[in-house]
Structure 1
Amino acid sequence: MGATKFARPRTSYGLCNGSRILIADNSGAKIAQIINVDGYKGRIRRLPKATVGSVCTVTIKKGKPELRGNIVKAVIVRQKMIYRRLDGTRLCFEDNA
């Protein structure tokens, strides 16, 4: 089976269910927890994992009182775990966001 036009390159999954991430926008939320990874096709009893570019469902854990506890969608933009780009460079950040 060849790669399709829309296939994402395989990157290291650095975040799983329950991981806490920083919020990188100005909405007032500070920290969120991943509760689901949209589109993750895994195995039975295996926790969904996310990487840079994954769309996740998160719950807000710390921030403005009116946002705390809300369930929202988020995109992973940074991860601590090293991942490799298609051109061979390796990249990691100091936080998960």
Structure 2
Amino acid sequence: MAEGRSVTAGEVQWVEVGEGQSGQRIDNFLTTRLKGVPRALIYRIVRKGEVRVNKKRVKVDHRLQVGDMVRIPPLKLAPREAVKQVNEGLRNL
């Protein structure tokens, strides 16, 4: 089976919320932190309680405050499909 590409380097990350992210919803915060991760996956990990703020479960509409500690779990995504090369003989058909 193919190895998935890791988004958060295989370990839990703890991120402190700064002034710039204060008042931002947790789903939007994660979307900007986890580039390339589908929104559906972000919503799922928040609903399942894998994402936590100050060691507590939150809902997707939770607004962050300065100093909040956000737990981001390690994520594995399916590898992107490789572009298939077309044989020269097939191109001439």
Please confirm whether the aligned pair reaches a TM-score higher than 0.5, indicating the same fold. Answer: no
Structure with the bigger percentage of helix: 2
Structure possessing the higher radius of gyration over alpha carbons: 2
Q: TM-score range by the shorter chain?
A: under 0.3
Specify which structure has the bigger relative contact order, considering alpha-carbon pairs within 8 angstroms and separated by 6 or more residues.
Answer: 2
Structure with the bigger percentage of strand: 1
